[in-house]
Chain A
Amino acid sequence: MAEVSLKGVKKSFGRVEIIKGVDIHINDGEFVVFVGPSGCGKSTLLRMIAGLEDITEGTLEIGGRVVNQLQPKQRGVAMVFQNYAIFPHMTVRENIAFGLTIAGASRQEKQQKVAEAARILQMEHLLDRRPSQLSGGQRQRVAIGRAITRKPAVFLFDEPLSNLDAALRMDMRMEIGRLRRQLGTTMIYVTHDQVEAMTLADRIVVLKDGQVMQIGAPMELYHEPANRFVAGFLGAPSMNFLNVDVLDLDGEAAMIGNQSLEPIRVATRRRAFRKDGKAILGIRPQHLRAVQSGQGLLHGVVAHAERLGSETVVDLTLRDDRELIAAFNEDKVFEPGDALELTFDTALAHLFPDELQTH
């Protein structure tokens, strides 16, 4: 078990900077998820922690020891890869025991540790099979088995569920959650799937273009996103963003509105805005409610509706021709062309500066 600490970590390939100075402190036994769109550098960052990529600048500490120059094996980490990376010519047993074989462990020790890993992962019956005889989920379980037999200080997961189909992904997600409680080891998990991030993480690190956008507990990020990117990245369907005019400012709130939005007051949350300037209003689709005509804050026409049973997702065209997604947690029928008025709790809305606006 160990803490992991990244200080001013940078990575360049030639002149291209991929990781632009990252500071993250991960506590002992914590489950941290790196999440971000593809190309944000999350996998690269994980591989730098594993020792598979060099660190161009900054320091990486694992368990209080600077490991920048150490080989992967000296860092005390184990890694689970997206495409499993289990050895095709070895049986499940040999695969799980691989790290022990490399370390020259005795047959007895191997047997005991493989049995333990197999018990934890409930795959005793698969031990003599070859990877080609296993399903994707079973293969990934073998890879996890290989990782846990060595009792590493830190577990690294590089999109471990991305190659699995949806149903299996949910099973494995729960399994990883269970494993995590059972082992209590520090885990770093990379994914582009926000559901995995939200459900598994103690803390989420949102990355974009090699920079940390926000670090925090899942609900903290969901309810108090630090910026528009984080707000839009977490939550499905993703947050609606409306271009609004700042009509008035008073201390901690701003009066905003536009063609299709009645003037409302929204907390500024210490962000700077300018009177008569532009701003962006973020509203989660789930926070929108349909109301009687004349009571709504937003006015639009139904363009398309999806009924999911537990939820109805409506795509609206607002008066100013912008699109808005609303999600109602009940089964409702909407026909394209229906006029719809929506309201929302202004305390749940977020106001972001318009980055494109010149001040």
Chain B
Amino acid sequence: MASKLTLSNRTGWTFVLPGFALIVTFIVLPFFFAIGLSLTNQRLLSPNPTQFVGLENYRQLLGLAVVTLKPERNDAGEIIRNEAGEIQYPRLREITRSEAYPQFRGMREWFRWQSGENVMVVIASDVVFMKALVNTFLFVLVVAPVQGSLALMLALLINHKLRGINLFRTIYFMPVVVSIVVVSLLWRFIYDGQNGLLNSILQALTFGLFQPVDWLGNPSTALPAVMAMSIWQAVGFHMVIWLAGLQTISPTLYEAAAVEGASRWQTFRYVTWPGLRNTAVLVLVVITMQGFALFAQIDVMTNGGPLDSTQTLVFQAVERGYGKQDISGGSTISVILFAIVLAISLIQRWLTRER
């Protein structure tokens, strides 16, 4: 029924206004603010006036260089070795603090590798940011395929008309409705190095042979532990998306495949998987986006530690912007993250375009 209310343009805009205002205030404005602030030296609270610094923040974050360290030689030109026979190299700080190399000033070692008798050292102006960058990519690269395929497997399992199947659907979906903060807190207990559930189970299963591990306190297990927990938490959500995709495939296609003699694997390959193409794109994009936004788990479980082994981009952005009150630094990380995510979305769109 067309009343004056539904026909009036002004009324429409009035209804839209509150939501629109909120979106502008909390999403659109901050987006442009972030870009703007990343070009300044703005701090959260500072008596000094804000200055425009151009791309200095980006240089600070992204500055990378490779330095070659040549073995130290004695006057005769022989390589000096210590008692253990290891080749002696000059110390890195002799280069980064040297007046001769102003471009390396303030940079620190990220990692190094041996190349013949020389040592190549990658130095970065912000090693923590680099670690965060690598960790974030690692997280996405592991979580996206594992979570996506696990969710698909669960979806295939629960896509049956069985008695009580809704119970399983509910159980698999349950972690999704629990707040990630709560889940992270619980998993901190599970991962506990002293008497955590995971250690207890592993010990029970191996009859006490298993040596307890401080899962979140060990640099080599902390990130995998966060990954495992994250995969578990959101797998139900993607399972539901897969399930929706599975149910759009016409049952007669399966019947046709059965009559034609397709095995289970062939049915999956020729009927199910091609039918899930659009769903696969959606799931992949969503997991990737969520992966890049990794924050809450880190904040609650590890705070980026130990030894920066679980630093992530968003965690660093928040840490800098609010923890260190370096708003411009945090903004810069946000803008870099935006650029990365945008690039990946465009690549994904291109790869999955309709041909």
Contacts and interface: CB of A to CB of B under 8 A. Distances in A.
B203 interface: no
Contact of B258 (A52, A88, A103, A150): A52
Interface in A77-134: 77-79, 81, 83, 85-90, 98-99, 101-103
Interface centre among B250, B253, B259, B261 (most CB of A within 10 A): B259
A71 B257 CA distance: 12
A77 B262 CA distance: 13
B183 interface: no
A81 B274 CA distance: 20
A79 B258 CA distance: 10
Contact of B259 (A73, A86, A87, A101): A73
B266 interface: yes
B260 A150 contact: yes
A187 to B, nearest CB: 15
Chain B contact residues (Cβ within 8 angstroms of A): what range? 10 to 19
B166 to A, nearest CB: 19
Contacts, number: 63
B252 interface: yes
Nearest to B262: A102
A85 B262 contact: no
A50 interface: yes
A77 B258 CA distance: 11
B277 interface: yes
B259 A77 contact: yes
A51 B259 CA distance: 8
A71 B262 contact: no
B189 interface: no
Interface string A52-93: 100000000000000000011100011101010111111000
A178 to B, nearest CB: 23
B274 A83 contact: no
B260 A81 contact: no
A99 B274 contact: no
Contacts of A143: 256
Contact of A72 (B253, B259, B263, B274): B259
B258 A85 contact: no
B32 interface: no
A89 B274 contact: yes
A78 B259 CA distance: 6
Contacts of A192: none
Given A50-B259, A81-B255, A102-B261, 10 more contacts: A51-B258, A52-B259, A77-B259, A81-B256, A83-B250, A85-B253, A85-B255, A89-B275, A102-B263, A102-B266
12 contacts: A79-B256, A81-B255, A83-B250, A85-B252, A85-B255, A88-B275, A90-B274, A98-B260, A99-B260, A102-B260, A102-B262, A102-B266
Interface of B: 250, 252-253, 255-263, 266, 270-271, 274-275, 277
